[in-house]
């Protein structure tokens, strides 16, 4: 079972606060995301069916392993249930019935008029593989004009809120205070001139730089830097790539050295090594793990992919 049922009290948020939190999370993850609608419809548990999120990516990006191209439209809909009262199994059945009905969710005027390429359901219910497959089949049968359907459930929401340290204490104040451990990531391109070589363009080693800022109030220890990639719709995580490179070992921070509050550390990775390792894969995120397994991530923008890797 998913941990957030015990750690994050999503049930207690209610439909309005749930949608508000989802909008904050989506807005932070997807540049250009907007939320709009006309309010609650009085459905089961006061669902807010007429409030939709919309994302029109400005460049190629990924939505949980699905590559989204510039010009496509993604519509998000939100469903909140008090699962502690009705149980997870009943909650999944109720939710799926909303999509099975003659006038199912994806055939409503608000969805039809929006003409989305992708439809995403976000819910606080635990989603299993059986529900996910049934959901996609029912939706495709009801509205084949939408090319791709996805459901984001409790497990994924937990991962998002775990990383959103600035939001946790606002929506779950009885559990979290202001973050003690908190890192901010910045990625860019850079260059390195090996010892003994002149500072000329042909001698420059092209790099991807990952700058980690400690914006918490306690020292952190960096345990791993991971690269999240999409390979034919499947997620892959490559860890510590380039840390043992002989050229960079002198300038990369040493493992086990604390990153003090208010300070930053920069890690360097060779462009040519990354290009070879990531061949034919889509680089989506860079993830930093500390020694107590806090997870921080930053999306790789299309501009960075172009500068560092060329067209992916």
Query: What band does 75 get if pLDDT is binned at 50, 70 and 90?
Result: very high
Contact by Cβ (8 Å): 111, 75: yes
Position with higher pLDDT, 233 vs 119: 119
Answering whether pTM is above 0.75, one says: no
pLDDT at position 38 over 80: no
- Strand duo 118-123 + 148-152: pairing: parallel
d(CA 281, CA 274): 11
Domain 183-309 has CATH 2.40.160: no
Position 83 scores a pLDDT of 86
Region 35-41: what's the mean pLDDT? 62
* Rounded Cα–Cα distance for residues 208 and 245 (Å): 13
Span of 41-45, 173-177, 231-235 with lowest mean pLDDT: 41-45
Exposure pattern of 88-124 as b/e (b: 16+ CB <10 Å)?
A: beebbeebeebbeeeebbbebebbeeeebbbbbbbbb
Q: What integer best gives the mean pLDDT of the chain? A: 84
20-24, 67-71, 210-214, 264-268 — which is least confidently predicted?
67-71
Give the per-residue pLDDT at 42.
44
- Which range among 20-29, 68-77, 202-211, 214-223 shows the weakest confidence by mean pLDDT? 202-211
Long-range contacts of 97-100 (CB under 8 A, 24+ apart): 98/44, 99/135, 99/138, 99/139, 99/142, 100/138
Task: Specify the pLDDT at position 146.
Answer: 95
What is the average per-residue pLDDT within 247-267?
87
Residue 312 above 80 pLDDT?
no
């Amino acid at each position: 079972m998913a941990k957030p049922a015990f750690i994050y009290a999503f049930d207690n948020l209610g439909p309005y606060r749930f949608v508000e939190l989802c909008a904050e999370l989506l807005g932070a993850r997807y540049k250009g995301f907007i939320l709009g609608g006309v309010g609650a419809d009085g459905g089961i548990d006061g669902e807010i069916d007429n409030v939709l999120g919309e994302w029109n990516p400005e460049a190629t990006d990924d939505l949980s392993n699905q590559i989204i191209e510039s010009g496509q439209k993604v519509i998000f809909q939100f469903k909140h249930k008090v699962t502690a009262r009705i149980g997870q199994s009943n909650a999944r059945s109720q939710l799926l019935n909303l999509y099975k009905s003659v006038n199912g969710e994806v055939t409503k005027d608000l969805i039809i008029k929006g003409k989305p390429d992708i439809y995403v359901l976000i819910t606080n219910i635990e989603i299993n593989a059986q529900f996910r497959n049934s959901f996609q089949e029912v939706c495709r049968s009801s509205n084949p004009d939408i090319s791709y359907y996805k459901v984001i459930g409790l497990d994924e929401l937990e991962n998002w809120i775990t990383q959103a340290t600035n939001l946790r204490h606002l929506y779950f104040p009885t559990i979290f205070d202001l973050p003690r451990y908190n890192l901010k990531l910045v990625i860019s391109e850079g260059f390195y001139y090996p010892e003994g070589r002149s500072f000329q363009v042909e001698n420059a080693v092209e790099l991807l730089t990952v700058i980690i800022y400690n914006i918490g109030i306690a020292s952190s220890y960096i345990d791993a830097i991971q690269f999240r990639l999409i390979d034919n719709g499947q997620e892959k995580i490559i860890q510590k790539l380039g840390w043992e490179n002989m050229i960079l070992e002198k300038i990369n921070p040493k493992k086990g050295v604390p990153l003090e509050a208010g300070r930053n550390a920069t890690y360097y990775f060779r462009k040519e090594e990354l290009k070879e390792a990531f061949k034919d894969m889509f680089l989506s995120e860079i993830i930093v793990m500390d020694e107590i397994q806090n997870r921080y991530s930053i999306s790789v923008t299309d501009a960075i992919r172009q500068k560092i890797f060329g067209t992916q």
